[in-house]
Structure 1
Amino acid sequence: MLIETAIVQFIETLRQSGRASPATISAYGHDLFAWSRFSQQRGQTEIAQIDRRSLRAYLMAERSRGVAIRSLRRHFAALRALYRHLQHDAPELRNPVQGLAMPRAEQRLPDWLTVDQARVLMQPTSTPGAAEDQKDFIRLRDQLILELLYSSAL
């Protein structure tokens, strides 16, 4: 089966099933046709010609073009969904997506307080009219929570 034919059938099945939003269907179509163009440039026009190496090459090429990891994960999800659909109709079909690792999401480091910010945060707060027990309790509670978070590096 031609790659483009498989994609058209898959997108149509998604539309008819109602299991995916129009935005997802559009994104999957965009991603899968981009993969189809990449495969055609490599001389692969049939689904049976696709292997793990060619899928990995596609994902790496997209990454080198500057595609964000989040978008690559969507490309991967579209390919995985396409091959699940194809295997539903033809269980004997080899699934090159199976066993292929999804691109890892970028992990951002958390922002931290400067020394001065930590000092200000840890200074006892003075409440006007501190005679009220309730306000004293809340102030002490808040300070204890901050001390605990700071000392345990949370």
Structure 2
Amino acid sequence: MQAEIAAFLRHLDRERNASLHTVRAYGEDLAQFARHVRAELGRDGHPRDVDHLLIRAFLARLHRQGVKPVSSSRKLATLRTFFRYLCREGVLDRNPARSLLSPRMEKRVPTYLDERDVALLVEMPGEEAAAMRGRAILELLYATGIRCSELVGLDVSEIDRSARMIRVLGKGRKERIVPFGSRAGAAIDTYLSVRHQSRPRTDALFVNARGGRLSDRSVRILVAKRVKAVALAHRVSPHTLRHSFATHLLERGADLRAIQELLGHASLSRAK
């Protein structure tokens, strides 16, 4: 099955133009399923060995391991897509995952902060370069509602400071233009005045102390430290600022479809 998985991942990358994150996630799910097949059969499996019972046993194993329904549902969706690809390629004549139902998931209301808590979070003290970078990151996350991965993927050239717009490359490598306000603009201008101190080795907007592109993990650590510093009672991540951005726009009367476009959601239901 390893050869078929490798071919599928190449298809995602080269023909579907999927992001690196998406290709990696599909690869991890399929590698986990391949290990399950090997354990069940006692040998490396071929896609023709897989039936709905083998996939159902995989889902049961995930349940016993305490994997959340949302994660199990995503893994099942990965298998459906993988086996559909193999059917199109003529490797299989039927999709063994097609008839299986996704695990039932609880509907959760996204966590968001009120405007006072957001103000506390983004007002990062300090005059050193790291503090200026931190303020710019937090202000931009809240001002635009972009994903953490989109933020760290930004290059300096993708910011129009005079028009206060950023060009974002989102999921599926779809491009969108998102505006930001004067507070975020001021924070970005201040940070850019000291960015050179890190001796950037990349065009990335946000760079680390060694001059490389800042990582997703570094942004999450920054947010966690700020939450601890201001003693917020909520569980907060960069995605919480995204939810807060959308909620506050909605509360101020913004159109839901406009919010959907700003967030980069493919469907209105995702924005809801």
TM-score by shorter chain over 0.5: yes
2:35 corresponds to which residue? 37
- Structure (1/2) with the larger helix percentage: 1
Alignment match, 1:23: 21
CA contact (8 A) 1:48 1:94 kept: no
Q: Which residue of 1 aligns with 2:12?
A: 14
Residue 79 of structure 2 is matched in structure 1 by: 79
Q: Which runs of 5+ in 2 are unaligned?
A: 110-272
TM-score, normalised to structure 1's length?
0.64
Cα distance in 2 for partners of 1:93, 1:18 equals: 22
Cα 1:103–1:19 change in 2 (3 A) is farther
Instruction: Classify 1:12/1:104 alpha carbon distance in 2 versus 1 (closer, same or farther; 3 Å).
Output: same
Structure having the higher Rg: 1
Structure 1 residue 49: Cα displacement? 0.9
CA 1:108–1:16 in 2, change beyond 3 Å: closer, same or farther? closer
Secondary structure of 1:34's match?
helix
What count of residue pairs does the alignment treat as equivalent? 107
1:5-154 alignment, distance < 5 Å: 5-43=3-41, 45-90=45-90, 93-108=93-108
Report the Cα distance in structure 2 between the residues aligned to 1:8 and 1:93, rounded to whole angstroms. Answer: 20
Cα distance in structure 2, aligned partners of 1:51 and 1:91: 14
RMSD over aligned CA atoms reads: 1.8
CA distance in 2, matches of 1:52, 1:31: 17
Indicate the SS of the match to 1:36.
helix
* CA deviation profile, 1:80-124 (whole Å, cap 9, x unmatched): 110111011117522111111111212359xxxxxxxxxxxxxxx
Matching residue's letter, 1:41 = A
The alignment-based identity, stated in percent, is 31
Amino acid at match of 2:84: R
List, as ranges, runs of 4+ consecutive aligned residues in structure 1 with deviation greater than 3 Å: none
